[in-house]
Amino acid sequence: MKSEMPLIPMGSITGRPDRRQIHSFLSSFKEAGFTQYMIYPRSGCELEYLSEEWFNTCEMIIAECQALGFDSVWLYDEFNWPSGQCGGWIMKEDPDHALKYFQVFEKNGEYSFGISSNPKAPDVLNPGAMKKFIEYTHEKYAERFGHLFGTLIKGIFTDEPAISYIGSPSGDEKIRLSYYPGLEEDYTALTGSSLRKDIIFTLRNQSAPFWKNFVCKLLGQRFLDSFVLPIRSWCDRHDLLFTGHLLAEHTLKDSFRASGSPMKVTDGFSLPAIDEIATASQIHSVEWITLATAEHAMRKNGNGGMAELFALGPCDMTLAKIKRQIHLVSMFGTDRYLLAVAPFDMRGNTCGAKSQYFNPFTGAQPFFPAFAALNRDVCASAAVARKEFLPEIEIRRPTDEAQLSELLIQLVKAQRQWRLIDEEEEGTAPAVLRIEQEGISTEKMPDGSYHRCASFTTFLKIFEKILPLKNCVTDSSGRLAEDIFMRYFADGSVEIINLSPSRENRRLTLIRSGSKFEFELSPDGIKSFAPRRILIDRPNLKRLEFEEGICKLYVTSPLEDVVFLARQHELPAALEVDGVPLALNAPAEVLPEGFTPFYLSSAPLSLKHGEHIIKVSDPALPEYPFLPTAFLAGFFADTGKGLAPYAQDGVGLEQFIGSITQQEELEIPAWANTLSFEADDLYTELYINGEKMPERLNAPYIWRIPERFAGKKVEIKIKRCTSCGPMFGVRRFDNLRPGDEPLWLNCSRPSGKVKHPVAELVFQ
């Protein structure tokens, strides 16, 4: 919803709140600008978890949220944590539902083995135990509140499920390993070897391949199959987002021990989340691995992400620091911010380890009314999270104790643009790296060269020669500014945050494609440089491609005022959208000259988030390359993961035809004589402060800069006109049956997209 604010109180139910208390509590949040709320069962709650009294209290909370006009309610799937135990019921009901571990004993050089379990931890590797968990938790919520799933109730949050709650070795124990029945047989099937034999060999020789096979390929996959995917599937069926975070995300060793295959497991969430409750705020302490692993999953799923923030306090944290940390996680794709914790009252402060820290996001804070303004401010951060990020460098997330964290720190210091990818994923950045114990090896470099570097510093020097920095922040001496984090996005916008421990303001300069912009950065400060606006002069088009009469469209953010267009020439086509026949009785005015007589349009309509099924009346209707059966038209972007409102950033214009106009303000360097950019051989007009420069019909797109503009801040406008080719898509009819005539010869197929929808200006 357009009104939805990105801050979410993690509302801990303490005591036995009645309707009056609930109304008063939630009203205070609504008055402070909150439109979302999470129901969080936690220490200090005096209701029996999952009892009738518990669900009655949840019902009162949900009803009050509905009455007060909240947009979203989020459920939490456990009492305290870790998820998977139903507050302990799972293990009490059946001791076999407790997490198991494999014990390795060593005495006088001889090894022996045993199997035991932790009665206090749920067995997330046991499909039967996790089936019970879903029955007792998710199904019970569905019975009471399923009619609100996908509307008011948006998703369900899981907290720190893990395979590593097995304790530490004691006595003669050499090691403990997470275990499930059949593990030894699965290991033999995978490796052709004996698990016990390889454990002994590894303990004696510190062999790394064992850990990769055992932890990643067996335990990680089992965790994914037993816990994550069944819940994800359940949530998908019930129109809910599956969100939450894993345990020990910030180091390679701990995250592999906890999750087996952290990147694949995180990818399994439809709304991935992170735990960043320590508010790490300096380059050496920021959880770069946590942020980048979740970013990978957010990019894959396309629904954004959530971050649990601030629970470790301190409770005198400033609003500036809160804003800065929210902006940091947003730069990695997170657009929902869970404020931990917002308890009804403070009785939970006496409970266990959680009594050692305190940071209430409630009226206990005198500055609580400021959250109305904070909610509005962090909408800008949520918008940053949805931007397309194009890295220079992709690093494969290693499966051993390679020094990934140190490499990421060095890349941040060097102001390089980077992200993580998994072991099997195809790299798309100019450079793709693999980090090993010996250093770095390059799988791909911009110039095609290969390098194996023993140190990160050596690699960065080589990379600087091959791909010099175009965008950077410098200090007063002209050197790269220290203690900042900077990201450059596909729309030309730049986001910078201050990670310096100094409490002094800083005078810095952004250099963006040769232009300089001086600015001041306060302690805990954020600086945003506006994107280039990429305007289109007409609605975007998407050719609908039917298979056996069906076309599937996925919408990642709700679309307004789109229209469907269906061909009426020869054999008229009728369309059905999500089972509802579509009225086609308006002229197809959005199509170019010569096409309008052959199509009819629907009235403008809305498409909600999710998958939509478009059916054509007769699946046997012929499909012509240059007179398609149907189009969708509107101001949307086709992002590759689905359709979303066009954000004026140049992203998602694969099938757009018309004029694309780029607008930005910049300072032309005093030394610059020419301006150039890539324009994909399109007819191009350039305007400087409204003054038209000579148009260009083809490359090279180079203009001499009039002396009167040198050293001046100007408005640049670049207008490019496409052909009509992109409207036909890039579909190829490669799978023809014997005797079929080719419908689209390769030689006549349009090349399609504009390769550089955002022109990168170069001054010389």
- Position 735 pLDDT exceeds 60: no
- pLDDT at position 31, please? 95
Measured torsion, CA atoms of residues 604, 608, 610, 613, in degrees rounded to the nearest 10: -40
Name the DSSP class of 347: G
Look at the alpha carbons of 124, 128, 130, 136 in this order and tell me if their dihedral is positive or negative. Answer: negative
What pairing do the DSSP bridges indicate for beta strands 452-453 and 439-444?
antiparallel
- Position 49 pLDDT exceeds 70: yes
Name the DSSP class of 3: T
Look at the alpha carbons of 556, 562, 567, 573 in this order and tell me if their dihedral is positive or negative. Answer: positive
Consecutive H or E run containing 274: strand 271-276
Buried residues in 609-628 as b, exposed as e (16+ CB within 10 A): beebebbbeeeebebebeeb
- Position 652 pLDDT exceeds 60: yes
In this prediction, residue 36 has a pLDDT band, given cuts at 50, 70 and 90, of: very high
Residue 45 pairs in a beta bridge with: 15
pLDDT tens for 699-723 read 999 999 999 998 888 999 999 999 9
Closest CA to 643 of 547, 553, 563: 553
Could you tell me what percentage of the chain is helix, strand and coil, using 3-state DSSP and rounding each to the nearest 5?
30, 30, 40
pLDDT tens for 658-674 read 999 999 888 888 888 99
Closest CA to 644 of 292, 160, 303: 303
User: 652 by DSSP, 3-state: which?
Assistant: coil
User: What is the distance between the alpha carbons of residues 438 and 561, in angstroms, rounded to a whole number?
Assistant: 56
- Position 357 pLDDT exceeds 90: no
- Position 749 pLDDT exceeds 70: no
- Position 485 pLDDT exceeds 90: yes
pLDDT tens for 583-642 read 999 999 999 999 999 999 999 999 998 899 999 989 888 888 889 999 999 999 998 779
Mean pLDDT of 678-696: 94
User: What is the distance between the alpha carbons of residues 400 and 248, in angstroms, rounded to a whole number?
Assistant: 15
- pLDDT at position 759, please? 85
Mean pLDDT of 121-145: 98
Is residue 660 within 8 A of residue 755, CB to CB? The reply is no
Higher pLDDT, 437 or 130: 130
Q: How far is CA 647 from the centre of its chain?
A: 17
Residue 496 pairs in a beta bridge with: 486, 527
Supply 564's token pair: 């469907």
Name the DSSP class of 582: P
User: 107 by DSSP, 3-state: which?
Assistant: strand
- pLDDT at position 532, please? 82
- pLDDT at position 745, please? 43
Rg (CA), the chain: 28
Sheet holding 580-581, edge to edge: 580-581, 575-577, 610-616, 550-555, 643-645, 636-638
| Prediction pTM value | 0.83
Nearest 5 degrees, angle CA 54-CA 58-CA 62?
170
Nearest 5 degrees, angle CA 547-CA 553-CA 557?
175
In this prediction, residue 512 has a pLDDT band, given cuts at 50, 70 and 90, of: confident
Higher pLDDT, 748 or 321: 321
Q: Which residues contact 45 (CB under 8 A, 6 or more apart)?
A: 12, 13, 14, 15, 79, 348
Is residue 296 within 8 A of residue 422, CB to CB? The reply is yes
3-state secondary structure 53-102: HHHHHHHHHHHHHHHHCCCEEEEECCCCCCCCCHHHHHHHHCHHHEEEEE
- pLDDT at position 24, please? 97
In this prediction, residue 761 has a pLDDT band, given cuts at 50, 70 and 90, of: confident
Mean pLDDT of 111-138: 97
Mean pLDDT, the chain, integer: 91
Supply 658's token pair: 């018309």
- pLDDT at position 733, please? 45
User: What is the distance between the alpha carbons of residues 338 and 340, in angstroms, rounded to a whole number?
Assistant: 6
- Position 48 pLDDT exceeds 80: yes
Is residue 389 within 8 A of residue 330, CB to CB? The reply is no
Neighbours of 699 (CB within 10 A): 13
- Position 27 pLDDT exceeds 80: yes
Supply 202's token pair: 């590894």
- pLDDT at position 753, please? 64
Q: Which residues contact 708 (CB under 8 A, 6 or more apart)?
A: none
User: What does 120-146 look like in DSSP terms, one character per residue?
Assistant: EEE-TT-HHHHHHHHHHTHHHHHHHHG
Asked whether the bond before 314 is cis by omega within 30 degrees of 0, the reply is yes
Closest CA to 562 of 612, 625, 597, 598: 612
In this prediction, residue 206 has a pLDDT band, given cuts at 50, 70 and 90, of: low
Mean pLDDT of 119-146: 98
417-431, 514-528, 574-588: segment of lowest average pLDDT: 514-528
- pLDDT at position 392, please? 96
Percent of the chain whose pLDDT exceeds 90: 77
- pLDDT at position 666, please? 80
pLDDT tens for 260-288 read 999 999 999 999 999 999 999 999 999 99
User: What is the distance between the alpha carbons of residues 4 and 6, in angstroms, rounded to a whole number?
Assistant: 7
**Integer angstrom CA distances of residue 487 from 491, 495, 529, 620:** 12, 5, 11, 50
Name the DSSP class of 526: E
- pLDDT at position 437, please? 76
In this prediction, residue 207 has a pLDDT band, given cuts at 50, 70 and 90, of: low
Q: Report how far apart the first and last C-alpha atoms of the chain are (Å, whole number).
A: 46
In this prediction, residue 730 has a pLDDT band, given cuts at 50, 70 and 90, of: low
Percent of the chain whose pLDDT exceeds 70: 95
- pLDDT at position 623, please? 84
- Position 354 pLDDT exceeds 70: no
User: 742 by DSSP, 3-state: which?
Assistant: coil
- pLDDT at position 746, please? 47
